[in-house]
């Protein structure tokens, strides 16, 4: 490992995140640009996921087995069927890979999924706001400045290939200009009576058709 010019990295480190694709199933892309070349250091982003969005642990495990994503999810047990109002916050530690086009740049993407929300009044969309991630750095022999870096409470090795203890450090950085927002379609409360009536009517009609078919074509002893 090599020593990093942490003073410059502290001043110029920038992070951005972007939600790719459309619908309930998206990809969260996180990009970090350090002030100087971070050769030999592990770079990660600590992402706070509100209840309206989640990472599927099984999907994440599959991606890690294929060496497509390196991440740690807290907690590691997630109810993927729960609606937003019954879910809890999640914490994702996403290991970033060097960007071959930029010596100071790192990036990683992970699939995320939106949860169903309660019906709302006067709007057909619910907003899920993603805060700017926290940038973390773990260097073997870097002498980190106490003015810019401070120890972070992260009980995770510096890489998915090591199991020993590791001291991560967090740094001040320029957050994205705008917070990432996911707009999730929701039902309208004023339509609840109509929806219930149509559901009941459809259920009764389908049940009647099934019963008629059973009586016509069934063989009863």
pLDDT in tens, the chain (221 residues): 333 444 444 556 788 899 998 888 999 999 998 866 666 778 899 999 999 999 999 999 999 999 899 999 999 899 999 999 999 999 999 999 998 888 888 999 999 999 988 876 666 778 888 888 988 888 765 555 666 667 777 777 776 555 666 778 787 666 554 557 788 777 555 556 666 777 888 888 898 888 888 887 767 66
Look up tokens 């993927």; give the residue: 80
In the chain, domain spans: 14-187, 189-220
Quick check: pTM over 0.85? Answer: no
Pick from 140, 111, 133, 107: which is nearest to 40 by CA?
140
Q: What is the DSSP string of the chain?
A: -----HHHHHHH-EEEEEEESSSSEEEEEEEEE-SS--TT-EEEEEEEE-TTEE--HHHHHHHHHTTS--EEEESS---TT--GGG---EEEEEEPEEPTT-TTEEEEEEEEEEPP---BSS-SEEEEEEPPPEEEEE-SS----TTTEEE----S-SSTT--S----EEE--BPPSS-EEEEEE--BGGGHHHHHHHHHHHHHHHHHHHHHHHHHH----
CA angle, 192 then 193 then 196, to 5°? 85
């Amino acid at each position: 490992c090599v020593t990093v010019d942490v003073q410059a990295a502290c001043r110029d480190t920038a992070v951005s995140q972007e939600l790719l694709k459309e619908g309930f199933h998206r990809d969260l892309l996180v990009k970090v640009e350090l002030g100087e070349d971070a050769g030999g250091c592990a770079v990660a982003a600590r992402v706070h996921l509100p209840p309206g969005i989640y990472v599927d642990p099984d999907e994440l495990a599959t991606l890690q087995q294929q060496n497509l994503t390196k991440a740690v999810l807290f907690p590691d047990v997630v109810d993927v069927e729960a609606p937003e109002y019954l879910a809890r916050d999640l914490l994702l530690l996403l290991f970033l890979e060097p960007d071959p086009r930029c010596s100071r740049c790192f990036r990683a993407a992970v699939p995320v999924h939106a949860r169903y929300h309660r019906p709302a009044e006067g709007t057909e969309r619910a907003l899920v706001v993603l805060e700017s991630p926290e940038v973390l750095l773990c260097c073997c022999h870097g002498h980190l400045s106490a003015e810019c870096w401070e120890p972070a409470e992260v009980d995770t090795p510096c890489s998915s290939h090591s199991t020993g203890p590791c001291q991560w450090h967090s740094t001040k950085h320029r957050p994205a200009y705008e917070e990432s927002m996911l707009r999730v379609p929701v039902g309208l409360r004023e339509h609840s009576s109509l929806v219930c009536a149509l559901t009941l009517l459809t259920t009764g009609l389908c049940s009647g058709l099934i019963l008629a078919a059973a009586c016509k074509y069934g063989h009863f002893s």
